[in-house]
Structure 1
Amino acid sequence: MKIGILQTGLVPSELAQQLGEYPDMFARLLDGRGFDFTTYAVVNGEFPDGPEAQDGWLITGSRHGVYEDHAWLPPLEALIRDIYTAGKPLIGVCFGHQIIAQALGGDVRKFDGGWSIGATDYAFGDETRRLNAWHQDQVVTPPEGAETVAKTDFCAHAALLYPGHAYTVQPHPEFGHDVVKGLIDLRAPGVVPQPLIDTANDRIETPLATQRLADEFETFFKTGTLA
């Protein structure tokens, strides 16, 4: 199955040298599941011809906000709507989660409650999954027709299911502890409050449910459902 990765951000160069860019992280997360990946660096203005170019689509994280003024954001939102209309399975992570919601009529904002970073417990129905977070922006009002399938006390819409169309999540299943540690060292000082940094460092080796989400991504790409 051919999956197009829409890359919306760049990993800090110090980390990218060792861990690769976002598409490399997703390729590792979904390795051995029958997918062939093609990357489109939309953050640099590189777009596919249209939704039919691939069998499914994945939108990465980014340090940018979906509400910012960048030339590549309006065509990305238009592409999201075209993918949705075409019925191609679409997955979004962090920024991808947010931009899909915004493109389809939802509301995304810089959250007044501040940051969520590092290993965080998410309620997926009755199941608790610990996954790495790194965000301040979040979906505050989902689009019509989207179902909230995960939440925390901090983030009320941490995962959204658009039945038969898209599955999007706020946490980063592609982030291992090495990525989070790098972001703590490179991007957190002076930006993220020190108590949050300390808590993230304390949890830096905690087990994560990344393969649980990888299983769901595979199922959604192949069937358009989570079951």
Structure 2
Amino acid sequence: MKIGILMTGHPPDTMMDGGLYDQYFARLLEGYGFTFKGWAVVDGVFPDSVQEADGWLITGSKHGAYEDHAWIPPLEDFIRAAFDAKRPMIGICFGHQIIAQAMGGRVEKFGDGWAIGRTEYDMDGTTCAINAWHQDQVVEKPDMAVVSASNAFCAHAGLLYGDVMWTLQPHPEYGSDFIQGLIDTRGKGVVPDALLEQARAQLERPTDRLAVAKAMAAFFKKERA
């Protein structure tokens, strides 16, 4: 099964040793029989059609879904086309937000601030710890979306759109080393110091990222009418 990865951002220049964001997801989903191809939509590089992959994944980004960038409207069109074609799609962080926006929801910079580092969510009655890095949130979900993950800080942390699209606000592709790098680069002077230190103190605690990867693989592979 071929998974197309739509890259809506790039890692900080000082953290390129791990490759671009498509490689982070390829590593996360290694061993499930997928092949991968990435498109840097943030640079205006798009697939010709939704038929170019069997499933799609939209990555995180430093940009806001509500910002005025030339690549955002065609990305929203692509999302709706993939949904209409019933091509399975997963969105992570910005991907979660842009899918919600494309489908009629609303995204904004959250007034209560940031969630960074190891964060616990209620996912269908189970507590799941995943690394997060965001201030923007889906504040109004699309009418058709069902909440699949939440916590007191982020009410719409996971959304399910029938059996076609599943999106998550946190980052299962981020290990503690990447969070450490973000703390030292993009976090300084942007995220309050107390939150940075709180995230740093939890770097060695385990997360459920591999369990989420298994669920992502199952979502892509599930039989659909």
TM-score by length of 1: 0.97
SS of corresponding position for 1:28: helix
| Residue of structure 1 in register with 2:195 after alignment | 196
| Residue of structure 2 in register with 1:155 after alignment | 154
Give me the whole-angstrom Cα distance separating, in 1, the residues matched to 2:9 and 2:70. Answer: 14
The answer as to 2:125 corresponding to 1:126 is yes
| Residue of structure 2 in register with 1:15 after alignment | 15
Give me the whole-angstrom Cα distance separating, in 1, the residues matched to 2:4 and 2:23. Answer: 13
Asked if structure 2 preserves the Cα contact closer than 8 Å seen for 1:101 and 1:139, the reply is yes
SS of corresponding position for 1:167: strand
Give me the whole-angstrom Cα distance separating, in 2, the residues matched to 1:51 and 1:190. Answer: 39
Q: Give structure 1 regions of 4+ aligned residues with deviation exceeding 3 angstroms.
A: none
Which amino acid in 1 is paired with 2:92? V
| Residue of structure 2 in register with 1:5 after alignment | 5
Give me the whole-angstrom Cα distance separating, in 2, the residues matched to 1:117 and 1:142. Answer: 22
The answer as to 2:159 corresponding to 1:174 is no
Which amino acid in 2 is paired with 1:26? F
Give me the whole-angstrom Cα distance separating, in 2, the residues matched to 1:177 and 1:123. Answer: 21
| Residue of structure 1 in register with 2:50 after alignment | 51
Q: Alpha carbon RMSD of aligned pairs, Å?
A: 0.9
Report deviation, 1:165.
1.1
SS of corresponding position for 1:157: coil
SS of corresponding position for 2:27: helix
| Residue of structure 1 in register with 2:214 after alignment | 215
Report deviation, 1:125.
2.4
SS of corresponding position for 2:112: coil
> Which runs of structure 2 are paired with 1:28-67 in the superposition (5 Å)?
28-67=27-66
SS of corresponding position for 2:76: helix
What residue ranges of structure 2 are gaps of 5+ in the alignment? none
Which amino acid in 2 is paired with 1:133? A
| Residue of structure 2 in register with 1:135 after alignment | 134
| Residue of structure 1 in register with 2:182 after alignment | 183
Which amino acid in 1 is paired with 2:68? D
User: What is the CA deviation profile of residues 15-58 of structure 1, one whole-angstrom value per residue up to 9, with x for unaligned ones?
Assistant: 11x22111110000000101000101100000111111110000
User: What is the CA deviation profile of residues 140-161 of structure 1, one whole-angstrom value per residue up to 9, with x for unaligned ones?
Assistant: 1111111101111110000001
Give me the whole-angstrom Cα distance separating, in 2, the residues matched to 1:213 and 1:125. Answer: 13
Which amino acid in 1 is paired with 2:206? P
User: What is the CA deviation profile of residues 94-151 of structure 1, one whole-angstrom value per residue up to 9, with x for unaligned ones?
Assistant: 0000000000000111000000000011111221111100000010111111110111
User: What is the CA deviation profile of residues 164-200 of structure 1, one whole-angstrom value per residue up to 9, with x for unaligned ones?
Assistant: 2100000000000000000000011111011111110
Asked if structure 2 preserves the Cα contact closer than 8 Å seen for 1:163 and 1:224, the reply is no
TM-score by length of 2: 0.98
Percent identity reads 54
Report deviation, 1:224.
6.0
What residue ranges of structure 1 are gaps of 5+ in the alignment? none
SS of corresponding position for 1:71: coil
